[in-house]
Copies of this chain bind each other. A is one copy, B any other.
Amino acid sequence: MTAAVLTATVSSPESVARAADPSGAPAEAGWVKSTVEQVLPGVWRVRFGTPERFTPAAVRESAPRREGFELLPPAGPPPFAPETIRGRITRSRTAIYVPCDEPGEEIYGFGLDPGAYEQKGLFKHLTVCAGVVGKTGASHGPVAFYVSTKGYGIYVDTARVPDVQVARLTPNDSASASTDTSAGLKTSERDLYAARPAHGRTEVLFDLPGNSQGVDVYVFEGPTMREAVERYNLFSGGGAVPPLWGLGLKYRMLTRATEASVLQTAQSLRAMNIPCDRLGLEPGGQTHADSCSFVWSKERFPDPAKMTEQLRQTGFKLNLWEHAYINPSSPLYAPLRERAGDFLVWGGLVVDFADPEAFRIFADYHESEFVKQGILGFKGDECDRQPPTDATPFNFPYCSIFPSGIDGDQMSQLYGYLYQRSLFTAFKAHNLRTWSDVRATSALAAPLPFNLYSDAYTFDQYLRQLINASFTGLLWSPEVREASSLAELLNRVAMSAFAPQMCLNLWFMPHPLWEQYDGPKNKADQLLPEPEQKVVAGQLRTIINQRYELLPYLYSAFMRYHNEGLPPVRSLLLDFPQDKKIWNEDNAFMFGDNLLAAPFLGEATTRKLILPTGARWCEIKTGKWYAGGSTVTVSGAPGEMPLYARENTLVPMAEPVQHVERDTVFRLTVRVFGSKPAPFTLFEDDGETFDFAKGAANQVTLRWDPKQGGTVQRTGNFPGRRYEIVGWKTAGSPGE
């Protein structure tokens, strides 16, 4: 026996620290000096050390959309110089300290966050997570980006799981003796400590454990939160452009659907006159808790190409459910076996999407086997992570090994993002747009046409996520599954109708939603009486028609998202950042530029609402005008979406169609609100391809003058026509 281990073990107080660091390595911690560079108009990069190899920026979908920056107002400087952001790099972590003005500032963002709207004073643990973990920001889309009411945004480009202290810690004043950060890495702990400036409640602190190299921090200038968000989204590459049909209803079938049941459902929807553009299904070569084969079940779908074509002819586009854990029976298994993580999930490979070859193999397969066959969307499930409270999670561990060299925690944060990118690649190769689903994403996701969704089903969280998503370039799909009452069902459907994606998800219900909205009863074949079914179907039709009425309006908002980075469905604060009365209003949102939507939650049919200051508002249903800043109580029937038009705007509304095709022409009535409405520009193109980027698009500008009435001006090179203006309709003027 040797005593090597025992020499350091004495019981005197002095034994609390080893006398000397046995590694002879440098001090545990050190402040480093940043290098600051303006990389785009109003975008500053603050670099600490050497950024890690795998970050959202390093694996991003798109280059920044430079031309978009020219459409924005001139940048307003943030209330601090980028140089005042501080950073420390140690052997265990990188920590970033961003100034924050204590009393007069509120903070928003951090991704899809279901639990919190106002972020100041909170601790965030920004991990990809399938569940809701209080207000910690764990979500399907955690993003290390926030905006401040002072009119700037901060993005920390990391694929580690950041712990963020949002201006909440109280510093030990003894630490504020010096603010010297100029001398670079300190070489003794005493020096390091002496050099530590004041921080804490007046800073937002990002802790990036496992990052021992460095990080890029980006500052996005305003002048308001709106422009900071726009700059972030343009930096990400600009917003995703949906196919026009993608904004129509998605109806997701039962897990074990068959060709017969799919065709039957398609027929029912048309027979019931319920508008629908998309059907979702599971091709069947996989089960929910097993890995994926990525092949159709021969029993359930004997001729998928024929079925796909048959559905397409009646206006249905198919979306296939899958997840990216590759079953040994899959054709993808052999080519990806050596390009996967060292652990399986549900017996399937975890694809090393950070390996360009694995990324390509996965994309190519989806292109040749599905996109070529007419499949127009995917639902990429299970790429998120189970909550840290689960003792038997199915996740791959943070210490997983991947051939590309990416760490397991980085891959866990980026898996959904890279998975989307690979699927998107399959569509882009065919010059086709998609409007798809995914369970997890990361920062810089704006250009990806994937909607996040969740198993969590709490109504107010659904709404909060819808609004929070708009701060960080995410799309959120508050899926409607079951409901405990008709009122709740209709209110849920109404909320979904005003989301980036409208979706009824019947994955565990064998019968159409209108035949039974109670999940267990639907499963047990206990259907509503037929007359009641007709009533429910009619009510669903009404709500879905409203969605289709607004399709051209919403589509145009998405083009603005693409070109200028302004989210189409967004927090009121992006339009009214100065209105302190609504700083905590997380239950209403802007739908496009001109409509404010204030959903009824749960079974409610009445609610209160603070209308933002800075505009007058016309209640669509009644034509009644309200002053900005007023608190109104609105009542209605279940399934109604209280809508308010902003004064001096135009809102084109279409006659509903049953589905959207390349040759669909929308017949529009332009609603006029106020006497001096701003022009409204519709975006016109084929609605399906990327040809618009090469110029095959029109701007259809609507103008209204009280004396001359409405005019339509069309510019651009797209030869087709999508919009026919059939009328103009004024609302009573405010104050009249």
Q: Which residues of A contact B (CB under 8 A)?
A: 1-6, 8-11, 13-18, 21-23, 25, 27-29, 37-41, 45, 50-54, 57-64, 88, 90-93, 95, 115-116, 121-125, 133-136, 160, 163, 165, 168-172, 174-175, 189-190, 192-193, 196, 199-200, 205, 207, 209-213, 216, 237, 337-338, 340-344, 347, 349-350, 353-356, 359-360, 363, 388-393, 396-399, 401, 403-407, 409, 418, 421-422, 425
Q: How far is the CA of A32 from the CA of B58 in the complex (A)?
A: 29
Query: Which B residues are CB-close (under 8 A) to A403?
Result: 189-190, 193
Nearest-CB residue, chain B, relative to A42: B1
Give min CB distance, A235 to chain B, whole Å: 9
Min C-beta distance of A351 to chain B, whole Å: 11
Chain B residues contacting A91 (CB-CB under 8 Å) are 210, 212-213
Complex CA–CA separation, A8 to B62 (angstroms): 10
The one of B205, B237, B404, B422 in contact with A399, judged by C-beta atoms closer than 8 angstroms, is B205
Copies in the complex: 2
Q: How far is the CB of A515 from chain B (nearest CB, A)?
A: 38
Among A175, A190, A355, A363, chain B packs the most CB atoms within 10 A around the CB of A175
The distance from the CB of A736 to the nearest CB of chain B, in whole angstroms, is 48
| CB pair A405 B189 closer than 8 Å | yes
Pick the contact of A95 from B11, B356, B399 — CB < 8 Å?
B399
User: Quick check: A17 and B58 within 8 Å, CB to CB?
Assistant: yes
Judging by beta carbons under 8 Å apart, are A344 and B170 in contact? Answer: yes
Q: Which of B13, B343, B360 is within 8 Å of A171, CB to CB?
A: B343
Q: Which residues of B contact A50 (CB under 8 A)?
A: 22-23, 25
Indicate if the CB atoms of A62 and B23 lie closer than 8 Å. no
CA distance A201 to B145 in the complex (A): 38
Report B-chain residues with C-beta under 8 Å of the C-beta of A399.
Answer: 88, 93, 95, 163, 205, 207, 209
Q: Select A392's contact among B29, B61, B123, B398, beta carbons within 8 Å.
A: B123
Residues of chain B within 8 A of A356, CB atoms compared: 13-14, 16-17
Q: Is the CB of B210 within 8 A of A6?
A: no
A338 to B175, CA, bound (A): 8
Report whether A170 and B22 are in contact in the complex, using a CB–CB cutoff of 8 Å.
no
Once A342-B199, A391-B115 are accepted as A-B contacts, the answer to whether A92 and B397 lie under 8 Å apart by CB is: no
- Which 9 pairs show the lowest CB-CB distances between chains A and B? A135-B391, A92-B210, A207-B399, A189-B405, A95-B399, A23-B50, A28-B405, A9-B63, A5-B39
Interface SS of A by simple majority:
loop
Q: Which of B23, B134, B207 contacts A390 (CB 8 A)?
A: B134
Q: Are A13 and B349 in contact (CB under 8 A)?
A: no
- In addition to A91-B210, A199-B342, 20 A-B residue pairs with Cβ atoms within 8 Å of each other are A8-B57, A13-B363, A13-B422, A16-B354, A16-B355, A17-B354, A18-B53, A22-B50, A28-B406, A92-B212, A121-B392, A123-B392, A123-B393, A134-B390, A134-B391, A136-B389, A136-B390, A171-B343, A207-B399, A388-B388
Q: Closest CB-CB distance, A192 to chain B, in whole Å?
A: 7
B residues within 8 A CB of A392?
Answer: 121-123, 135, 168
Report the bound CA distance from A422 to B10 in whole Å.
14
Please determine whether A123 and B53 come into contact, CB atoms closer than 8 angstroms: no
Chain B residues in 8 Å Cβ range of A388:
125, 133, 136, 388
Instruction: For A93, give its contact among B4, B135, B207, B210 (CB under 8 Å).
Output: B210
Partner of A23, one of B136, B213, B342: B213
Chain B residue at smallest Cβ distance from A7: B63
Which residues on the B side are within 8 Å of A343 (C-beta)? 169-172, 200
User: A172 to B344, alpha carbons, bound, how many Å?
Assistant: 5
Query: What are 8 A-B residue pairs whose CB atoms fall within 8 Å in the complex?
Result: A3-B39, A28-B405, A91-B213, A93-B210, A93-B407, A123-B393, A174-B338, A175-B342
What's the Cα separation between A169 and B401 when bound, in Å? 13
Chain B proximity of A364: nearest CB distance (Å): 9
Question: CB-CB < 8 A to A40: which residues of B?
Answer: 1
State which of B17, B134, B207 has its C-beta within 8 Å of the C-beta of A398.
Answer: B207
**Contact for A2 among B38, B59, B61, CB less than 8 A:** B38
Residues of B within 8 A of A8 (CB): 57-58
Write out the residue numbers on chain B whose beta carbons fall within 8 Å of the beta carbon of A193: 401, 403
- A90 to B400 alpha-carbon distance, docked (Å): 12
Residues of B within 8 A of A169 (CB): 343-344, 396-397
Q: How far is the CB of A523 from chain B (nearest CB, A)?
A: 28
- The closest CB in chain B to the CB of A339 belongs to B174
Alpha-carbon separation in the docked complex, A418 to B13 (Å): 10
Q: Please, which residues of chain B bring their CB within 8 A of the CB of A39? A: 1-6
Which of chain B's residues have a CB closer than 8 A to the CB of A37? 2, 4-5
**Chain B residues positioned under 8 Å from A337 (CB to CB):** 172, 174
A92–B207 touching, CB < 8 Å: no
CB distance from A442 to the nearest CB of B (A): 12
Contact A172 B342 (CB under 8 A): yes
A389 to chain B: closest CB distance in Å?
5
A4 nearest CB across to chain B (Å): 6
Set B60, B354, B389: member contacting A134, Cβ < 8 A? B389
A359–B11 CA distance with the chains assembled, in angstroms: 13
Chain B residues within 8 Å of A213, by CB? 23, 25, 91
Given contacts A8-B58, A123-B392, contact A17 B93 (CB under 8 A): no
Q: Which of A136, A174, A392 has the most CB of B within 10 A?
A: A174
A208 to nearest B CB, angstroms? 9
Q: Inside 8 A of A393's CB, which chain B residues have their CB? A: 123
The answer on a CB contact under 8 Å between B116 and A9 is no
Shortest distance between the CB of A400 and any CB in chain B (Å): 9
Residue from B172, B344, B350, B404 in contact with A189 in the complex, judged by beta carbons closer than 8 Å: B404
With both chains docked as a complex, state the minimum distance between the C-beta of A518 and any C-beta of chain B, in angstroms: 31
Closest to A91 in B: B212
Minimum distance in angstroms from A36 CB to a CB of chain B: 11
